[in-house]
């Protein structure tokens, strides 16, 4: 039986065992049990102190309280108080941890709500994205249709332009032909005027020759003078009466 075991034993238990014929074996057994309990309590206190030291890092107040609790551990009347204090501290720690867990649960609930809202927004955005994709596909189809229509219109425009160019060329040719015809008509009119003048001149010559044949005092042969216009135009001149085709000029009208 050790001294610490004797100190741990309560005073009310020692006296009756001494009076009951010296039952030291049972007292020693109880002292050993107390010693084991004290060892277990020491181990528990050390574990709790290690927990306190891990929870409250390098705090002087906690160290002083741990030393005070370690000093009071050896006394029986202080053992309960220290145990209660440790239990209270553990309860406080448990309450703090429960509060932290509640706060973390609230944070998790908020995060879950935010995640659900984000998922809903993502689903809505996916739906909008799908609708936009369908609209884009429809717009691409419309663009392709418009491109084909534009190609057709361009082909039609090209054909119309070619037709217009051909018509312009035809109109230009027609205008040139009209100009040529007008010029030819003007030249023909000038030539007709010259021919009419030549006819009138030949008629006068024929009449003069006829008058000369009826009049014996007149000369027998008359040599007409060819005009400059008839020479330029290639009109033949007649020197005698017999060679003059007066019948043709008299009967033909221009």
**pLDDT averaged over every residue in the chain:** 75
Q: What sign for the dihedral angle of Cα 14, 15, 18, 20?
A: negative
155-198: pLDDT as tens digits: 999 999 999 998 898 889 888 888 888 888 888 888 888 888 88
Taking the C-alpha atoms of residue 246 and residue 131, their distance in angstroms, rounded to an integer, is 103
Helix, strand, or coil (residue 219): coil
Taking the C-alpha atoms of residue 239 and residue 225, their distance in angstroms, rounded to an integer, is 8
86-108: pLDDT as tens digits: 888 888 888 888 888 889 888 88
Which whole number is the average pLDDT over 201-212? 87
Q: Is the pTM of this model over 0.85?
A: no
5-17: pLDDT as tens digits: 444 444 444 444 4
Tokens of 34: 């107390």
Give the burial class of 203: count Cβ atoms within 10 A of its Cβ; 0-12 exposed, 13-18 middle, 19 or more buried. middle
How many angstroms separate the Cα of 201 from the Cα of each of 98, 205, 228? 146, 6, 13
> Which residues, 6 or more positions from 2, have their beta carbon under 8 angstroms from its beta carbon?
31, 35
Q: In 100-133, which positions are buried (b, 16+ CB within 10 angstroms) versus exposed (e)?
A: eeeeeeeeeeeeeeeeeeeeeeeeeeeeeeeeee
Instruction: Centre a 10 Å sphere on the Cβ of residue 214 and count the other Cβ atoms it contains.
Output: 8
| Better-scored residue on pLDDT, 154 or 250 | 154
Instruction: Centre a 10 Å sphere on the Cβ of residue 198 and count the other Cβ atoms it contains.
Output: 19
Q: What sign for the dihedral angle of Cα 114, 119, 122, 123?
A: negative
Residue 90's pLDDT is 87
Closest C-alpha to 244, from 213, 210, 206, 218: 206
Taking the C-alpha atoms of residue 202 and residue 249, their distance in angstroms, rounded to an integer, is 8
């Amino acid at each position: 039986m050790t001294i610490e075991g004797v100190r741990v034993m309560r005073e009310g238990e020692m006296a009756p065992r001494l009076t009951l014929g010296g039952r030291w074996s049972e007292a020693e057994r109880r002292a050993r049990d107390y010693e084991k309990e004290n060892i277990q309590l020491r181990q528990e206190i050390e574990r709790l102190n290690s927990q306190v030291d891990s929870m409250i890092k390098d705090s002087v107040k906690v160290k002083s309280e741990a030393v005070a609790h370690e000093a009071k551990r050896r006394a029986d009347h202080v053992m309960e108080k220290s145990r209660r204090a440790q239990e209270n501290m553990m309860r406080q720690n448990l309450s703090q941890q429960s509060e932290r867990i509640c706060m973390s649960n609230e944070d998790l609930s908020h995060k879950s709500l935010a995640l659900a809202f984000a998922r809903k927004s993502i689903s809505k955005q996916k739906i909008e994205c799908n609708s936009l994709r369908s609209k884009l596909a429809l717009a691409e189809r419309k663009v392709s249709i418009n491109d084909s229509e534009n190609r057709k219109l361009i082909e039609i425009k090209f054909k119309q332009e070619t037709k217009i160019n051909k018509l312009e060329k035809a109109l230009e040719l027609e205008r040139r032909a009209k100009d040529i015809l007008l010029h030819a008509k003007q030249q023909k009119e000038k030539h007709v005027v010259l021919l009419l003048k030549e006819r009138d001149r030949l008629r006068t010559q024929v009449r003069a020759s006829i008058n000369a044949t009826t009049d014996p005092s007149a000369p027998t042969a008359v040599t007409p003078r060819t005009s400059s216009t008839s020479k330029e135009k290639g009109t033949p001149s007649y020197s005698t009466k017999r060679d003059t085709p007066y019948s043709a000029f008299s009967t033909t009208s221009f």
